[in-house]
Chain A
Amino acid sequence: MKRELMKFLVFAAAVLTAPLFLKGGYIVNVLVFVGIYTILAVALNLLLGLAGQISLGQAAFFGLGAYISGVLTATHAANPWVAMVIAVIAVGAIAFVLGFPILKLKGHYLAMATLGMGIIVYIIFNETVDITGGPSGLSGIPNLSICGVVFNTDMKNYYLVWSFAMATILLSLNLSASRIGRALRAIHDSEVAARILGVNVRLLKVQIFTVSGIFSALAGSLYAHTVQFISPASFGFNVSIELLTMVIIGGLGSIYGSFLGAAILTLLPELFRTFQDYDIVVYGTVLIVMTMFMPGGIVRGVPLLARSLLVRVKAVRSSEKRV
């Protein structure tokens, strides 16, 4: 209990002070995106890591959050904060209603249904040109502001996005340690046993799907107001897959792992600029290597790997002594 709190405080302190060492610039801009993707990865992890329910359509909720916020402010001149609240509530309601039929499905069928959901929403963004601007995107989205402070620089956006990311992480940590989190993990391990014990599996799955949708919409709204321009390409199928990769790299069920996954997958492309179009090959390789050697993700895999290396080193040393 106390250890969890300490971990969170250390993490929070690191997030708070990181920009001081970086002296602003391009890297801070990248870290803003790490924050947004952390929220998205944590949201997917609640669904996939805790409850064991896959979604290949998370980008749909991300996009809906971004477009609802964007259209309300850029086209209808709404207050950005009001737009954000509306986006989050609306997407939560959509996820709740869609959740009942979709989450009746299991395994591959659930994957297909959520994939379909993602593709349909992507097509809607492209085709409703009058509302969304279609493939050429929607521009002129205003920044968020508090008491006259406008979040219009990378540094300000860093603190804005990361306040929300930290809140998401804290709420998710609490949730996974609670009776709800236990029930979700129980569903993951044995659905029939959970039902026998009186766990309302169907409702709980829909609820966590809704929470996942709400966090994703929040990330979408933040994205819209920090980047100030959105187009369907940012919310396509590849984004859903990237989120999945983040969660798996970081470790299923590990909230901090989702942050690591988001950080690695956002920073890698920056480092691998030289690979240009081959970055997708690098992703693929990373994913294959990870699932082969660290199926539990980085958070669980690294300590395990370190331990087994240590054992091997000791074994080698003792055999050397014998020689």
Chain B
Amino acid sequence: MLKIESMTKIFGGLTALQDVSFSISAGDITGIIGPNGAGKTTLFNVVTGIYDPTSGKVYYDGKDITGFSPEKLARLGLVRTFQGIELFGQMTVLENVMVGLHTKSQSGIIASALKLPAHLREERQIRERAISWLEFAGIADLAGMKAANLPFGKGRLLEIARAMAVEPRIILLDEPAAGLNSRETSDLALLIKRIKDAGITVALVEHDMELVMGICSRIVVLNLGHKLAEGTPRQIQEDEQVITAYLGEG
């Protein structure tokens, strides 16, 4: 579904990614792990069009999408969330998700300003669908709250609900469990499984090993910008190189 080929990203003198290649298959939950500075978030940023790669290609269903803008990728069905959560803080929880439905509606400026009947019908549909995505994430009771006032864990769920509203085919989650307590993390694991069950491919960058080993069917390990290993959770746990990278030379 998503194929990353000889990806290299150099910032000034720093090589963040060096010749990284791997594939993400449809329907899988793929975990991308590695120590700090391994290049995980850089990889996401290159794939989602935030950065241009120095060299290398990204293929989506066999189509070359290298250097596509984030908005174009969203329309193709590829969305992501951010490590530090990027919510629309001044808007309500419901409105946040309604923005996620932007590409699913088309009323232009004139139809909106004149409140044409087609636009009103569309607004009603957007609202209903947004509410059902909030229910999907289990935060429908917070619909009217200002997003900036949400507790961190709920903000994370909102960001995922909002990304799901785009109706992606693949969703990339950047450290979804960062800053969550164990209860919130297990809620998150359930939500990610629900996303998979809905037929959506998931890729996540994560430090929480319990979460990764628990839900991922494949794991890619990065270290210092290189791909170190790739395989099932069991294979990764037994991989000598991975153990060395994480625990240091023994």
Residue pair A199, B71 in contact (C-beta under 8 Å): yes
Assign chain A's interface to a size class.
20 to 34
Which residues 79-103 in B have Cβ within 8 Å of A in the complex? 79-80, 82, 86-91, 95-96, 98-103
Q: How far is the CA of A186 from the CA of B166 in the complex (A)?
A: 15
- The reply to whether the CB of B6 lies closer than 8 angstroms to some CB of chain A is no
A188-B114 Cα distance, complex, nearest whole Å:
23
Q: Name which residue of chain B comes closest to A172, CB basis.
A: B113
Say whether A199 contacts B107, CB under 8 Å.
no
Given known A-B contacts A195-B69, A197-B102, A197-B166, A188 and B112 have beta carbons under 8 A apart:
no
Q: Report A99-135 residues with CB < 8 Å from chain B CB.
A: none
Given contacts A179-B102, A179-B123, A198-B102, whether A192 and B71 have CB atoms under 8 Å apart is: no
B14 at the interface (CB under 8 A from A): no
Contact B123 A197 (CB under 8 A): no
CB-based contact B88/A189 at 8 Å? yes
Interface residue total, chain B, C-beta cutoff 8 A = 40
Q: Is the CB of B91 within 8 A of A186?
A: yes
Tell me if A185 is interfacial: C-beta within 8 Å of chain B.
yes
Asked whether B88 lies within 8 Å of A171 as measured between CB atoms, the reply is: no
By the criterion CB–CB under 8 Å, are B70 and A179 in contact? no
- C-alpha spacing A185/B98, complex, angstroms: 12
Given A193-B86, A193-B87, decide whether A211 and B109 contact each other with a Cβ distance below 8 A: yes
Our pick among B48, B75, B82, B88 for the contact of A185 (Cβ within 8 Å) is: B88
Please provide the chain B residues from 151 to 192 with a CB less than 8 Å away from any CB of chain A in the complex: 162-163, 165-166
Residue of A174, A175, A180, A196 near B70 (CB, 8 A) is A196
B contact face: mostly helix, strand, loop, or mixed = helix
Does B50 touch A at the CB level, under 8 Å? yes
Q: Which of B79, B88, B90, B105 counts the most A-chain CB atoms under 10 A from its CB?
A: B88
Residue of A nearest to B108 (CB): A180
Compute how far the CA of A278 lies from the CA of B110 in the bound complex, rounded to whole angstroms.
43
Query: Which one, B48, B71, B98, B109, contacts A175 given CB within 8 A?
Result: B109
Which residues of chain A (177-212) have a CB below 8 Å from chain B?
A: 178-183, 185-186, 188-190, 192-201, 207-208, 211
Q: Is the pair B102, A199 in contact by a Cβ cutoff of 8 Å?
A: yes
Q: Residue B57 at the A interface, CB < 8 A? A: no
Q: Which of A182, A197, A208 contacts B163 (CB 8 A)?
A: A197
**Which residue from chain A places its CB closest to the CB of B103 in the assembled complex?**
A198
Instruction: Please pick, from B80, B88, B109, the residue contacting A180 in the complex, using a CB distance under 8 A.
Output: B109
A186, B100: Cα distance in complex, Å: 10
Q: In this assembly, does B122 line the interface, its C-beta being within 8 Å of a C-beta of chain A?
A: yes
Residues in chain A near residue B7, CB distance under 8 A: none
Taking a contact as CB atoms under 8 Å apart, the answer to whether A171 and B99 are in contact is: no
Instruction: List residues of chain B with CB within 8 A of the CB of A193.
Output: 82, 86-88
Whether the pair A198, B88 counts as a contact (CB closer than 8 A) is no
B58 → A minimal CB distance (Å): 16
Q: Are A182 and B99 in contact (CB under 8 A)?
A: yes
- Is B131 part of the binding interface, using a Cβ–Cβ cutoff of 8 Å? no
Tell me, yes or no, whether B115 is within 8 Å of chain A by CB.
yes
Out of A171, A195, A197, A201, name the residue touching B162 (CB < 8 Å): A197
Starting from the known contacts A183-B102, A198-B102, 8 additional A-B residue pairs (CB-CB under 8 Å) come to A178-B107, A179-B107, A180-B109, A186-B88, A192-B82, A196-B48, A200-B71, A211-B109
Please list 21 pairs of residues, one from A and one from B, whose beta carbons are closer than 8 Å in the complex, sorted by A's number: A171-B113, A172-B113, A174-B115, A178-B113, A179-B98, A183-B102, A186-B91, A186-B96, A189-B89, A190-B88, A192-B82, A192-B86, A193-B86, A193-B88, A195-B69, A196-B70, A198-B75, A198-B102, A199-B71, A199-B103, A200-B71
Residues of chain B having any CB pair with chain A under 8 Å: 48, 50, 69-71, 74-75, 79-80, 82, 86-91, 95-96, 98-103, 105, 107-109, 112-115, 119, 122-123, 126, 162-163, 165-166
Closest 6 CB pairs of A and B: A198-B74, A178-B112, A193-B86, A198-B103, A189-B88, A195-B70
